[in-house]
Amino acid sequence: MLPKDMRSTSAVDPELVPWARIERPWGTTYMKLLRCSVQENTFTNIVRYPAGIQLPTHLHTGHVHAFTFEGRWRYLEYDWVAGAGHYVNEPPGTVHTLVIEEETTALFAVHNAFIFFGPGGEFLKYQDAAVTLEDCQAVLARDGLELPKFVYE
C-alpha cells in the first residue's frame, strides 16, 4: 500500500523573485534564488553572467545540476561548451574553473557546498546554502528589495 504523502510540493514563479546583484572580485553577476534549504544544505538559483566572467577554481562537495537557458559557458578543465538547452551534471568532488564565453543565463541546483581556491591553491571562500541565503538577503536589502519567504521557509 502506498504511504500517505507527508510533505508538500511547491511551484515557484521566478518573476516573483527579485534579481540580486552580487559583486565579487571576479565580476558582477545577477542571481534569482528560487529555493534555499539551510537544513538540507541545498539551493536552486538562476544566474545571469556577463560575457568574460571567470570564477575562481572551485570544488563541489555535492552534486550540481545545471541547465542553460541562453549563452555559452565552459570549464577550463574540460573540452565541452554548454550552450542554450544544455544540461550539465557535476558530480561531487569535481574541481573546475567556470568561464563565461557569452552572456549566459542558467539554472543551478546545488547540493552541499562549493569551495573557491586562489591561483596558488589557497582557500578563498566557502559557499553553501546558508552563506548563499545570507549573501542574497544582504545585497537585496542594500538595494531596498526583499527575498520572498517562500524561497527559504
Kindly list the structural domains of the chain, giving each domain's residue range(s) and its CATH number in brackets, ordered by start.
17-123 (2.60.120.10)
Q: What is the arithmetic mean of pLDDT over 47-72?
A: 98
Q: What is the arithmetic mean of pLDDT over 48-52?
A: 98
Contact between 58 and 117 under an 8 Å Cβ cutoff? The reply is: yes
- Give, in degrees to the nearest 5, the angle at Cα 112 between 106 and 115: 80
> Which pLDDT band, with edges at 50, 70 and 90, does 8 fall under?
confident
Contact between 20 and 14 under an 8 Å Cβ cutoff? The reply is: no
Residue 112 to residue 92: CA distance in whole angstroms: 9
Percent of the chain with pLDDT over 90: 92
Whole-structure pTM value: 0.93
pLDDT value of position 9: 81
- Give, in degrees to the nearest 5, the angle at Cα 38 between 5 and 144: 115
Alpha-helical (H) ranges within 27-148 are: 129-142
Asked if residue 128 has pLDDT above 80, the reply is: yes
> Which pLDDT band, with edges at 50, 70 and 90, does 146 fall under?
very high
Show the cell assigned to 76. Answer: 577550463
